[in-house]
Chains A and B, each alone.
Chain A
Amino acid sequence: MQLAGPNGAGKTSLLRIIAGFAAPDEGDIFWREKSITKSYDEFARELLFIGHKTGVNAQLTALENVRFWLQIQGYSNEQDLYPLLASIGLVGLEDVPVRTLSAGQQRRVALLRLWLNDAKLWILDEPFTALDKSGVAFLQDRFTSHLENGGAILLTTHQDLTTHFNDLQTVTLEYRH
C-alpha cells in the first residue's frame, strides 16, 4: 500500500502512529485484531520500520551497524553477510565509518535490513530517497519477493513505482490547514 500526498499532508506522522511511536488523537491501531498499544511487543516482532531517520550510526561501519541491528532485533548474528553486501554494492566499504559514504550508500546500509528479517509488515518512509536507478529497481525486486511470501508493505514515496505490483493500493492524504 502506498501513501501519497503533498508535503506536509501528514504521511510521516501517520506512519509513525501506525508504527506505534506516536499516539493517535483519536482511535487505535489494531494488528491481528489486537490493539498495538496493549500488545506492542507482539506487534514489534512482525514489524520492520525504516523511517526518514534510518537508525544508522555514522561513526560505526556498515557491518557494525547491520550486526548491531540484528542483535537488537533478536536475530542470530553469526551469518555471513558478505554475499548480501556484494549484491547491494557495498563490498569494500564495509569497514569504513558510514559517515564517509555517500547519501545513497548510507541509505543502502539501512536498507540491508530488508534482506535480513522475517517481519510481515514493512513500514518504509521514503525508501527510495538518494538511491540510483539500479538501486530503486533492486529494492522493488525485493518488494516483489516479500509480497509473494505473504508480506505487506506500507510505504510513502514521491517517485512512481516502476515495477507493476498486482494489488497496489494508493491512499492519498490531502493537505488541510
Chain B
Amino acid sequence: MLRKHSYLQLFTAVCKKDLQLAFRQRAEIVNPLLFFLIVITLFPLAIGPEPGLLARMAPGIIWVAALLSTMLGLDKIFRDDFHDGSLEQLIASSYPLPLTVLAKVCAHWVITGLPLVLMTPLFALLLNLDSQSLVATVFTLLLGTPLLSFIGAIGAGLTVGLQKGGILMSLLVLPLYIPVLIFATSAIDTSSMSLDYSGQLAILGAMLVVAVMSAPIAISSALKVSVS
C-alpha cells in the first residue's frame, strides 16, 4: 500500500466531506440563515419602525442574531461523526487530531459564518444601518464569526456524547462569546461616530489568532473525552 503522508490531503479531505454533506442537506445551510433573518425582522416589529432607533440598535441586533444562529449549527459539527463512528477513525488515524479538527471548524465556518457575512448588507437595509457602520459590521463579522465557530466547537466537542447536549452546550459557550460581542459592537459603535475602530478589530484579530492556535488542541481533547 502506498502511503503518502500529506497534511494538505487530510485537510482537504475533511473539509470536502463536510462541505459535500452540507450541500447534500441544504437545509443545514439555509435554516440558520433563515433564523438569522427572522430574528432580525422581529426587532423592528417589536420595537417599532423608527429609523433612528433601529440604526442605533442594529449592531447589537445583528451580532446577537449571529451568535444565536451560529449556536444552531454548532450542534451538528461533530454529531454525525460521533454517531457513525467516523470520529474513532479520525482519532485512530496517524495524522494529528487537531489538524482534522481545524479542517472541520473551517468547513463549519464556510457553511454557517460566511453566508452570514455575505448576507449582512441585506440585513443592514432592514435595520437602516448607514454605509459606514455596514463596513464595520462586515469586518467584525469576518473576524468574529470564525472565532464563534472555534469557541463553539470546544463546547460541541465536550457535549457531543450527551443525549441532550444542546442546552448544556449553549450554557457553556454563550458566556465565552461575551468578549467577542463586546469588542465587535464597540467597533461598530465607534465607526458610527466616524472614529477609528482599528483597535477593536486588532483585538478581535488577536483573539482569532489565539483561537486558531489553541482551540483545535482543546477540541481534540474534548472529543477524546467524549469518545472514551
Binding site for B on A (CB under 8 A): 16, 19-23, 41, 44-45, 47, 49, 51-60, 64, 68-69, 71-77, 79, 116-118
Among A22, A57, A68, A76, which residue has its beta carbon within 8 angstroms of that of B13? A68
B14 at the interface (CB under 8 A from A): yes
Closest A residue, CB atoms, query B16: A68
Contact call A21/B91, Cβ cutoff below 8 A:
yes
Known: A72-B89, A72-B93. A55 touches B10 (CB 8 A): no
Closest residue of chain B to A19 (Cβ to Cβ) is B92
Q: Which residues of B contact A (CB under 8 A)?
A: 1-6, 9-10, 13-14, 17, 20-21, 24-25, 80-81, 83-96, 100, 224, 227-228
- Asked if residues B85 and A53 are in contact (CB atoms below 8 Å), the reply is yes
Contact across chains for A55 and B86 when beta carbons are under 8 A apart: yes
How many pairs of residues, A versus B, come closer than 8 Å at their CB atoms?
97
B94 x A45 contact (CB < 8 A): yes
Residues on B with C-beta less than 8 A from A60 are: 17, 20-21
In the assembled complex, the Cα of A92 lies from the Cα of B13 at a distance in Å of 24
Q: Which residues of A contact B224 (CB under 8 A)?
A: 21
Chain B: interface secondary structure? helix
| Cα separation A74 to B100 with both chains bound (whole Å) | 12
Decide if B94 touches A55 in the complex (CB within 8 Å): no
Check B89 against A69 for contact (C-beta < 8 Å). Answer: yes
Given contact pairs A55-B85, A56-B84, A74-B10, A116 touches B1 in the complex (Cβ within 8 A): yes
Partner of A54, one of B5, B13, B84: B84
* Complex contacts, A73 vs chain B, CB 8 Å: 89, 93-94
| Chain B residues with CB under 8 A of A44 | 92-94
Instruction: Determine the chain A residues whose CB is within 8 A of the CB of B93 once the complex forms.
Output: 44, 72-74
CA A16 – CA B88 in complex, angstroms?
10
Cβ B228 vs Cβ A23 within 8 A: yes
In-complex Cβ contact of B84 among A21, A23, A55 (8 A): A55
Set of chain B residues within 8 Å of A21, measured between Cβ atoms: 88, 91-92, 224, 227-228
Please state if A22 and B228 are interface contacts (CB–CB under 8 Å). yes
* Bound form: Cα–Cα A90–B43 in Å: 54
A sample of 15 more A-B contacts (CB under 8 A), given A21-B227, A47-B92, is A49-B88, A54-B85, A64-B20, A68-B13, A72-B14, A72-B93, A72-B95, A73-B93, A73-B94, A74-B5, A74-B10, A74-B94, A75-B2, A76-B3, A77-B9
C-alpha spacing A77/B3, complex, angstroms: 9
- Minimum CB distance partner of A77 in chain B: B9
Q: Which residues of B contact A22 (CB under 8 A)?
A: 227-228
Contact between chains at A75 and B3 (CB < 8 Å): yes
For B10, the chain A residues whose CB sits under 8 A away are 71-72, 74
Contact between A55 and B88, CB atoms less than 8 A apart = yes
B86 adjacent to A57 (CB under 8 Å): yes
Instruction: Say which residue of A16, A23, A59, A74 sits within 8 Å of B3 (CB atoms).
Output: A74
Closest B residue by C-beta to A17: B228
